[in-house]
Amino acid sequence: WVESNEFTVTWTAAETYTVSFAANGGTGTMADVTGVSGEYTLPANGFTAPDGKQFKAWSVGGVEKAAGDKITVTANTTVTAVWEDIPVATYIVTVTNGTGGGNYAASATVSITANEASTGEMFDKWEVVSGSITLADATSATTTFTMPAGAVSVKASYKDARNGWVKEDGKW
């Protein structure tokens, strides 16, 4: 029987990697994260978005991931910000007896045109039924206005072409 107090321990340190961040058109910096091995939780975006954009996701190896998602890091990894257009709010324009209705962003120039008048009638004027707008020319069959941040309703009205009477709701 031989007694020995000698033994050998072999230990290999786990290999670690660096996770870096790319702004992809955004501005600012995000510090690299070193010493990562295995599971890593993606952080909140720290970059400033380009004009007209907002943060959508992180791209890791071409796959979009949300902040808070976990990835497995087995090599140095670059995480790239993905941006998307900020949605533009639109508001409805309703045109009675004419064209030009639809959805428009606030500050857009909206053009409206009255329908052709019936026999014996002629275009009289535009009436603002609802909404806070100023028509460029309320007495022109085609006119414009600047879209407010709210719905608008306008109506073309007509008058008798022979003597200037005004027709309202189908009656003279």
pLDDT digit string (tens) for the chain, length 172 residues = 566 677 666 666 679 999 999 999 999 999 999 999 999 999 999 999 999 999 999 999 999 999 999 999 999 999 999 999 999 899 999 999 999 999 999 999 999 999 999 998 999 999 999 999 999 999 999 999 999 999 999 999 999 887 655 555 555 4
Three-state DSSP at 53 gives strand
Distance, in Å, from the CA atom of 148 to the CA atom of 167, rounded to the nearest integer, reads 29
3-state secondary structure string, 104-157?
A: EECCCEEEEEECCCCCCEEEEEEEEEECCCCCCCCCCCEEEEECCCCCEEEEEE
84 - beta bridge partners? Answer: 54
From the list 100, 129, 121, 123, the residue with the least C-alpha distance to 163 is 121
Is residue 109 exposed (0-12), middle (13-18) or buried (19+ Cβ within 10 Å)?
Answer: exposed
In the numeric block, which tokens belong to residue 71? 């990835």
pTM of this prediction?
0.57
